[in-house]
């Protein structure tokens, strides 16, 4: 599975990359903001996108909305420190499949594993 990581924190991107690689998932690219994430997604056609909410230039909800227009079948998981019912509703309306709190990395890993298994069955 090819994963694109979109987060303005270099530390978060590096940490996620290391964890994903340990699980034999491929990180096909990284982006530091929503605009860059859209460009990288067009270029790399990832199987899954992990995106932050709060980023410069374009936030994760606006980027997700555009990403769903460009690649509607690609799952998007929002991995953010800011979670509440309003945010979750806005993210889901924008096409995000799941909103996961950054303090709950175990849920992120199980979510990605689930998408990985679905993609493997579809192949």
Contact 115, 2 (CB under 8 A): no
108: domain CATH number?
Answer: 3.40.50.2300
Number of domains in the chain: 1
In angstroms, the CA 108 to CA 114 distance is 10
pLDDT tens, position by position, 77-118 = 999 998 899 999 999 999 999 999 999 999 999 999 999 998
Residues 6+ apart with CB under 8 A from 26: 1, 2, 3, 20
SS3 79: strand
pTM of the entire predicted model: 0.96
* Domain, as residue range, for 55: 2-122
In angstroms, the CA 51 to CA 104 distance is 15
Mean of pLDDT over the chain: 95
What pLDDT shows up at residue 62?
98
Cα 71 to Cα 11, 24, 95, 112, 115, distances in angstroms: 27, 24, 11, 18, 16
Structure tokens at 41: 């997604």
Contact 45, 18 (CB under 8 A): no
Burial class of residue 38 (count of CB atoms within 10 Å of its CB; 0-12, 13-18, 19+)? buried
What pLDDT shows up at residue 118?
87
């Amino acid at each position: 599975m090819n994963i694109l990581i979109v987060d303005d924190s270099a530390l978060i991107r590096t940490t996620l990359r290391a964890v994903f690689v340990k699980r034999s998932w491929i990180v096909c690219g990284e982006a530091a903001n929503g605009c860059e994430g859209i460009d990288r997604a067009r270029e790399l056609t990832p199987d899954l996108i992990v995106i932050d909410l709060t980023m410069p230039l374009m936030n994760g909800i606006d980027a997700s909305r555009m990403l769903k227009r460009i690649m509607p079948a690609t799952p998007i998981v929002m991995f953010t420190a800011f979670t509440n019912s309003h945010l979750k509703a806005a993210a889901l309306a924008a096409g995000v499949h799941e909103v996961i709190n950054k303090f709950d990395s175990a849920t992120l890993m199980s979510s990605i594993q689930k998408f990985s298994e679905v993609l493997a069955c579809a192949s």
